[in-house]
Amino acid sequence: MISSLLAVAKEKGAKEVAEAKIKLGKMQQIDIDILNLAFRELTRGTLLEKTKIKVEPEETRFRCRACGHEWNFEAPGKSEEEEAIHFVPELAHSFLRCPRCRSPDFEIMGGRGVWVEYIKISR
């Protein structure tokens, strides 16, 4: 992620990167504080050293292909289910069902991965 950020900043001829917005899927179970810390650690001495990062969590969201219902997944505490979808999100199909029609045929709409939404640069 950091190398992609640096590559884009360089490509655009940035002198400074003021801000970067990072989205963090909740399924990933990454602690925001830890991500912040890692970012500071790994960008020392680079163009991103002073960059302010805004980390925003993204809800785990599903959409039923059978009836169209959409819902957010809230795992009950440290459950086995949460463990499983943390490793392989698709495993949700073995234990989750659409709350409206009970179908296992749903799409994962959000909540996976870590990505950069935008950066603000000055040149």
Partner 1 sequence: MGRVHQNLKVKVPDPRLAIIEKRLKQVNRIIVVASGKGGVGKSLVATTISLWLSRKGQRVGLLDLDFHGPSCHIILGAKEVAPTEERGLIPPEVHGVKFMSVIYYIGDRPLPLRGDEISNAFVELLTITRWGRLDYLVVDVPPGIAEEVLDIIRLIKRGEFLIVATPSALATTTVARLSQLLQELQVPVLGAVENMCPSETGTEGAEKFGTTLLGRIPFDPEVEEKLGDPELLLRTKFARAVEAIVDKIRT
Binding site for partner 1 (CB under 8 A): 1, 4-5, 8, 12, 16, 18, 20, 80, 83-84, 87-91, 93-95, 104-105, 108, 115-123
SS3 content of the chain, % helix, strand, coil (to 5): 35, 30, 35
18 touches Zn ion (CB under 5 A): no
101 binds Zn ion (CB under 5 A): yes
Q: Which does 66 bind (CB under 5 to 8 A by kind): Zn ion, partner 1, none?
A: Zn ion
Dihedral of the alpha carbons of 106, 113, 110, 75, in degrees to the nearest 10: 80
Residue 27: DSSP 8-state: G
Q: Which tokens in the block code for residue 90? A: 């698709």
Residue closer to Zn ion, measured from CB, 36 or 103 = 103
| Smallest separation (angstroms) from partner 1 to the CB of 63 | 13
Q: Of 23, 69, 93, 97, which one interacts with Zn ion (CB under 5 A)? A: 69
CA distance 98 to 103: 5
The answer to whether the CB of 93 falls within 8 A of the CB of 85 is no
Is 7 one of the binding residues for Zn ion (CB under 5 A)? no
The least distance separating partner 1 from the CB of residue 12, rounded to whole angstroms, comes to 6
